[in-house]
Structure 1
């Protein structure tokens, strides 16, 4: 996906936190403006986005953990979060 390179290092935006919402039984991303409910796969991706790991590292780790990780899913998820100002990406 354009804009999200292998060497990019994603992390949650400073104003966003991931929490498990017991009422919903799902992980959520909390920001001052919104609550975004994410599935378990999304939570696994976000959990790996520490600003140190690259997108390539994250994809490799998820492929190691799970049998079926479709090409482009991680980048698509991250691009969506970047567009919603929930994720920051540094390059290099």
Structure 2
């Protein structure tokens, strides 16, 4: 499988739905028969994936939202690789 590229557009995988869960105060990823509780960073990344924005745009928006965070680009790309391997994104 080739690495995620900045020009790619990604969206949640089929059968997955992202939702804010107020009782747990976090984003969760719902799928048939299960729920995945996400950390804040994962939720912020996944909420920007709409199938239209490029990975570069997602990284840029996060960098503007969290200025000065060292390694943000690398962390986002690494997370997206894991999320794709788990079929959370496609």
Q: When the two structures are superposed, what TM-score results if normalisation uses the length of structure 2?
A: 0.85
Structure 1 stretches (4+) deviating beyond 4 angstroms? none
Q: State whether residues 8 and 55 of structure 1, in contact with CA within 8 Å, keep that contact through their aligned partners in structure 2.
A: yes
**Which of the numbers 74, 77, 90 marks the counterpart of 2:76?**
74
1:59 aligns with 2:52: no
1:6 aligns with 2:6: yes
Q: Whose helix proportion is higher, 1 or 2? A: 2
In structure 2, C-alpha distance between the alignment counterparts of 1:49 and 1:87, rounded to whole Å: 8
Q: Deviations over 1:5-26 (max 9, x none)?
A: 0111010012000112233222
Residue in 2 that maps onto 1:17: 17
Residue in 2 that maps onto 1:44: 44
SS of residue in 1 equivalent to 2:10 = strand
How many residues matched? 87
Q: Which consecutive residues of structure 1, in runs of 5 or more, have no partner in the other structure?
A: none
Choose between structure 1 and 2 for higher RCO, CA contacts under 8 A separated by at least 6 residues: 1
In structure 2, C-alpha distance between the alignment counterparts of 1:59 and 1:26, rounded to whole Å: 21
